[in-house]
Amino acid sequence: MEFCERKVTISTPGRICLFGEHQDYLHLPVIAAAISRRIYIEGTARFDRKVNIDLPDIRKRESFEIVDQIPYIRERDYFRSVINVFQRRGVHFSHGFDCEVQGNIPINAGTASSSALIVGWANFLSRMSDSPRPMMPEEIAEIAYEAEVLEFSEPGGMMDQYSTAKGGLIWLESFPATKMSPINAGLKSFVLGNSHQPKDTRFVLANVKNKLLEIVKNLSEKHPEFSLHSIIRDNLERYRADLGEDRFHLLEGTIRNRDISFEAKEVLERVPLDHTRIGELLNQHQTVLRDALGISTTKIDKMIDAALKSGAYGAKINGSGGGGCMFAYASENPDAVVEAVRTVSEATLVNVDEGSREESSIPVL
C-alpha cells in the first residue's frame, strides 16, 4: 500500500445521565445526553509501526509498537486495547501514529471522560487503518465497550460508549437486545458542577452492582417469576422478608428509578416539553440515589441545594457517584444557577451536543 501522510482530528463529547443511574448494567433502560465538553485527538500516520501519544492535559506520554497482540502494561490500558480489538476484528495497521490528546471534559468526575477518550480513539483508528472507513456510531460504541469493559472485566454498562458515540439525547435499552433510540426533546441549558471530590468508580460501581446482582440472583432462585423488568413496585413487599431492610430498600430504589426513567421518556417525547416535570423527575431520581443507593456526598448535596434555591428545575448527581459532578436543569436564568453552584464549587454551562465526529481530514502530500 502506498503511504500517504494524513492528518485527522476527532472530537468526542462527555455525557450526563439524566435518568437511569446504576441501571444499565442491570439491563434496564437509561436516558443520557452528550454534552458540550469534548476531547480532541489529532494525529498523523508514521512510516513505521510506532505509536506516540502526547497527553499535555495530564502531562503524560504513551509510546508503544503495534504488534499482532499488544501486551498490556497497566490497568485500563485503553490505547493498546482498542487496537487489539480492531485487529481481532480483522482491521490491520501497517503504520503507527503521532497523536496529541486534549480536552475539557472533567476527568474522573462522572462525565464519561474515559469512554469519550476510547470512543474518540476508536473513531480515529477507523479512519487511519489500512482500509479506512467511517463507522456508524453503534459500531464504534461496540468496539469501545469491548475495549473498555470486556477486555478488562470492568463492572460498567454500555451507556457511556453509546451516548458519546451517538451524541444528542438517547434512550438506551439492553434487554432483550441492545437498542438505541434518539429523543428529539427541546432541552435547554444544564449547569455542570464539579465537586472535585475524587471518585473510585470501580469500587462504587462494583459495590452497588454486586449487591443488586446478588439480590436478583437470590430472588430469582426462590421466586422464578421475579424480574426487574416486570415487577410492579406495589408488589415488592412480598420479598421484604427474603432480603432484610437494607437490601429491600436498595431493590425498591432500583425499581423506583426504573419507573422514573420510563415516565421521563414519555415526558421528553411530548410536545411541548414540560420543563417543570423533567425537573421534578430529576429531583425524585436524586432522592433515590442519595437515600436508597447511598452514592451522593455532602458537598454534592450542597451544590444541588444551591442550584434548586437559585431557580433550577431539578438537579442530581451524575455518574456512578461517591464524588465527581452533579448537574442542574436550568432552562430559565441559567447564569444565576451557575453563580449559585459556584458558591460551593466549580460550575459551567453545558448544552446537549453532537456525538464523536471528524473535525478535519487533511491529506499532507
The number of angstroms, rounded, from the C-alpha of 255 to the middle of its chain's C-alpha atoms is 21
198 and 151 co-located in one domain: no
Each residue's pLDDT tens digit, 133-176: 889 999 999 999 999 999 998 877 899 999 999 999 999 998 88
Cα gap 46→319, rounded to integer Å = 37
What is the band of 1 on the pLDDT scale with cuts at 50, 70, 90? very low
Domain containing residue 32: 6-184+353-363
Asked if residue 361 has pLDDT above 80, the reply is no
Q: What is the CATH number of the domain that holds 273?
A: 3.30.70.890
274 and 335 co-located in one domain: yes
- Mention every residue, 6+ apart, whose C-beta is less than 8 A from residue 215: 243, 247, 250, 251
Among residues 185, 127, 135, 137, the alpha carbon closest in space to that of 158 is found at: 137
334 and 238 co-located in one domain: yes
CB atoms within 10 A of CB 43: 25
Instruction: Report the SS3 class of residue 317.
Output: strand
Cis peptide before 272 (omega within 30 of 0): yes
Each residue's pLDDT tens digit, 278-293: 999 999 999 999 999 9
Asked if residue 181 has pLDDT above 90, the reply is yes
178 and 302 co-located in one domain: no
Q: For residue 325, give Cα distances in angstroms to 8, 269, 288.
A: 31, 26, 17
135 and 243 co-located in one domain: no
Number of domains in the chain: 2
Q: What is the CATH number of the domain that holds 177?
A: 3.30.230.10
197 and 173 co-located in one domain: no
252 and 339 co-located in one domain: yes
Cα gap 258→29, rounded to integer Å = 7
Joined together, the cell numbers standing for residue 300 give 454534592
Joined together, the cell numbers standing for residue 41 give 485527538
Q: What is the DSSP letter of 200?
A: -
1 within domain boundaries: no
